[in-house]
Amino acid sequence: MNEFELIRRYFAACTSSREDVVVGIGDDCALLNPPSAQLLAVTTDMLIAGRHFPLDASAFDIGWKSLAVNLSDLAAMGAQPCWFTLALSLPEPDQSWLGEFAEGLGRCAKEFGIALVGGDTTRGALSISITAMGTTDSATSMRRDGARAGDVICVTGTLGDAALGLRLWQRRSFCRELVNTDLELLWGRLHRPQPRVSAGRALRGLAHAAIDLSDGLAGDLQHILSASGVGAEIRVDQLPMSPAFARATPEADRLALQVSGGDDYELCICIPPKELDSIRSSLDIPLVEIGHITTEPGLRWLDGQGRPLPVTAGGYDHFQ
Ligand SMILES: [Mg+2]
């Protein structure tokens, strides 16, 4: 099977079809017809086996997650997902692996209405690189540089589940005492993240700044603070945790997982306080207030009584 057959066989029919794809897979380029007066939002994420997903993760989950992490970046800017390309390097054309991978990728693509429009395959260590494209309009797209002093900082969903899921996945022969449904939830959060696309769309024009949490709250929020030239105070007792996380994590470990654990793919947003109630009621997922933006630069962590906590944890950095 050559690379063209491989793409046709496994990927050609795996995603949504869209009317704005003039030429899709199979020519030198895809030809796309973006809506006029919209900006194109473009993002690339690369996933390497053993670094971004466990070597023993299922092919379906790897397919899902490869696309989901890109959709999360589109969500963070309020963009509507439209098209993506796939560059896949794999050690050998393992047919059952490819079939499952394409199924996971396709399931995620169909759920979010995004179409695969091109790609490339080559032999090598397992890695997946996806470039996803979406549309948004300039007036309402969310960026990292718009946070203002007084903004409320909120996060969607819960924090720490995926980092705990990874820890439990790596030690899974030792965690028999855990409730099975808790394990399933935590592993689901690790392997099949849900990009917050509809929340991102609903926040357009309301949030001053947003970022998706891929590398951990501490590191990712710092990107907003640096880009916006502001600081923040975060109340660690307000960080939302799932019941499964609360049951499965000793209290001493919670903060590190919630603050520097990666892979949550929730949105962290900065919004004017007066918008909080209306935003909350328009979202299909919980939005929790965890702190506020300050004029004084730096990121400060406070306990339940408002006392400073010496949190030194940064986000995940691939080069450290
Ligand atoms: Mg991101």
Of 132-141, 159-168, 266-275, least confident by mean pLDDT is: 132-141
Is the predicted pLDDT of residue 9 greater than 70, yes or no? yes
Distance from residue 245's CA to the centre of ligand 1 (Å): 23
Return the pLDDT at 312: 67
Location of structure tokens 């466990």: 54
Q: What is the pLDDT of residues 232-250, one digit of tens each?
A: 999 999 999 999 999 999 8
Q: How many CB atoms lie within 10 A of CB 17?
A: 10
Ligand 1 centroid from CA 229, angstroms: 19
Q: Could you tell me the distance, in angstroms and rounded to a whole number, from the CA of residue 143 to the centre of ligand 1?
A: 11
Distance 232 CA to ligand 1 centre (A): 19
For residue 200, report the distance from its CA to the centre of ligand 1, in Å: 12
C-alpha 194 – ligand 1 centre gap (Å): 14
Interval between CA 71 and ligand 1 midpoint (Å): 9
Give 212 Cα–ligand 1 centroid separation in angstroms.
5
Per-residue pLDDT band at 276 (split at 50, 70, 90)? very high
Q: In the 8-state DSSP scheme, what is residue 35? A: P
- Secondary structure percentages of the chain, helix, strand, coil, to 5: 35, 25, 40
| CA angle at 201 for the pair 237 and 301, rounded to the nearest 5° | 20
- What is the per-residue pLDDT for 297? 96
Backbone angles phi and psi of 125, in degrees to 5:
-60, 150
Per-residue confidence at 15, pLDDT binned at 50, 70, 90? confident
Of 146, 93, 152, 95, the residue nearest 123 (C-alpha)? 93
* Tens digits of residue pLDDT in 172-199: 766 666 678 899 999 999 999 999 999 9
Q: How far is the CA of 265 from the centre of ligand 1 (A)?
A: 8
pLDDT at position 320 is 44
Give the integer Cα–Cα distance in Å for 152 and 286. Answer: 15
87-127 residue pLDDT tens:
999 998 888 999 999 999 999 999 999 999 998 888 999 99
Q: From ligand 1's centre to the CA of 69, what distance in Å?
A: 8
Residue 180, classified by CB atoms within 10 Å of its CB into exposed (0-12), middle (13-18) or buried (19+), is exposed
Span from the CA of 177 to the centroid of ligand 1 (angstroms) = 35
What are 168's two structure tokens? Answer: 């439990």
Q: What does the pLDDT read at residue 54?
A: 86
> How many Cα atoms sit within 13 Å of 173 on the Cβ side?
0
Residue 26 region by backbone torsions, left for phi larger than 0, else alpha for psi between -120 and 50, else beta: left
What span, in angstroms and rounded, lies between the C-alpha atoms of 113 and 110? 5
SS3 at position 106: helix
- Alpha carbon of 17 to ligand 1 centroid (Å): 26
How far apart, in whole angstroms, are the C-alpha atoms of residue 250 and residue 260? 16
| Tokens (6 digits) for 282 | 């328009």
- Give per-residue pLDDT as tens, 208-227: 999 999 999 999 999 999 99
How many angstroms separate the CA atoms of 97 and 81, rounded?
26
Centre of ligand 1 from the C-alpha of residue 182, in Å = 27
Whole-number Å distance, alpha carbon 36 to ligand 1 midpoint, is 26
Our CA angle for 47, 48, 54, nearest 5°, is 100
Q: CB under 8 Å, gap of 24 or more: what pairs does 243-250 form?
A: 243/182, 244/161, 244/179, 244/181, 244/182, 244/185, 244/186, 245/158, 245/160, 245/161, 245/164, 245/186, 247/178, 247/179, 247/182, 248/164, 248/168, 248/178, 248/179, 248/182, 248/183, 248/186, 249/160, 249/164
CA of 279 relative to ligand 1 center, distance in Å: 21
Q: How far is the CA of 311 from the centre of ligand 1 (A)?
A: 23
Residue 73 above 60 pLDDT? yes
Return d(Cα 108, Cα 214) in angstroms, integer: 18
| Contact indicator for 110, 77 with CB cutoff of 8 Å | no
Which residue has tokens 């986000």? 315
User: Residue 44: is its pLDDT beyond 80?
Assistant: yes
Q: What is the chain's mean pLDDT, rounded?
A: 91
CA of 1 to the centre of ligand 1 (A): 36
Q: How far apart are the CA of 102 and the centre of ligand 1, in A?
A: 24
Ligand 1 centroid – CA 234 distance (Å): 20
Q: Note the pLDDT of residue 319.
A: 47
Strand partners, 188: none
Distance 214 CA to ligand 1 centre (A): 6
